[in-house]
Structure 1
Amino acid sequence: MNIKLINIGFGNIVSANRVIAMVSPESAPIKRVMQEARDRGQLVDATYGRRTRAVIIMDSGHVILSAVQPDTMSHRFDEEDKS
């Protein structure tokens, strides 16, 4: 299995193989997902105090908050696939 790592901002990296979805944090259902992950102890805040611009949902149930736009990260996924 080839492990691909994606930079999600500020030097934080996640395994691209384990990402289920990258979504915007504005909708009520995503806010609920974030709160439920916080209650379970599976929320990782990688924003360094900045505004949350993307929510990354992992196959392990962890939810990661990032200050990088989902579009930017999707381009990084595409660049990884080309290399």
Structure 2
Amino acid sequence: MDRVVNVGFESFVVKDRILAVLPVESSAVRRLKQLGMETGKIVNLTFGKRTKAILITNSGHVIFSFLPPKRIIEKLFRN
């Protein structure tokens, strides 16, 4: 179970696939979000809650999470 990280509501992502964890406030992240929608590579794991972090994977998928970026980073580097 230490190869995956819980990004909310028992949804898991393989740690080795994550390239970046970004806050949603910047305009660059908003453009990434739009690009993901256009290419069909969005995975929305917010389950209706406000998006607080976006994860970029090595496959080009853009994953939305309701958890704040700091919390996801803590989970990624927890032993």
TM-score, normalised to structure 2, is 0.95
For residues 32 and 76 of structure 2, the distance between their equivalents in structure 1, rounded to whole angstroms, comes to 23
| Ranges in structure 2 where 5+ consecutive residues have no aligned partner | none
1:11 — aligned with what? 10
Cα drift, residue 55 of structure 1: 0.2
Q: Which runs of 4+ in 1 moved over 4 A?
A: none
Q: Once the 2 structures are TM-superposed, how far is the Cα of residue 71 of structure 1 from its aligned partner? A: 0.6
Q: Which sections of structure 1, spanning at least 5 residues, go unmatched? A: none
For the residues of structure 2 that align with 1:45 and 1:77, how far apart are their CA atoms?
A: 19
Structure 2 SS opposite 1:75: helix
Which residue is equivalent to 1:54? 53
State how far apart, in whole Å, the 2-side matches of 1:78 and 1:28 are. 27
Work out whether 1:36 is the aligned partner of 2:7.
Answer: no
Asked if 1:77 is matched to 2:76, the reply is yes
Q: Secondary structure at the match of 1:61?
A: coil
3-state SS of 1:50 partner: coil
**SS at the partner of 2:31?**
helix
Query: Displacement of 1:28 after TM fit?
Result: 0.6
State which structure, 1 or 2, has the greater radius of gyration over its C-alpha atoms: 1
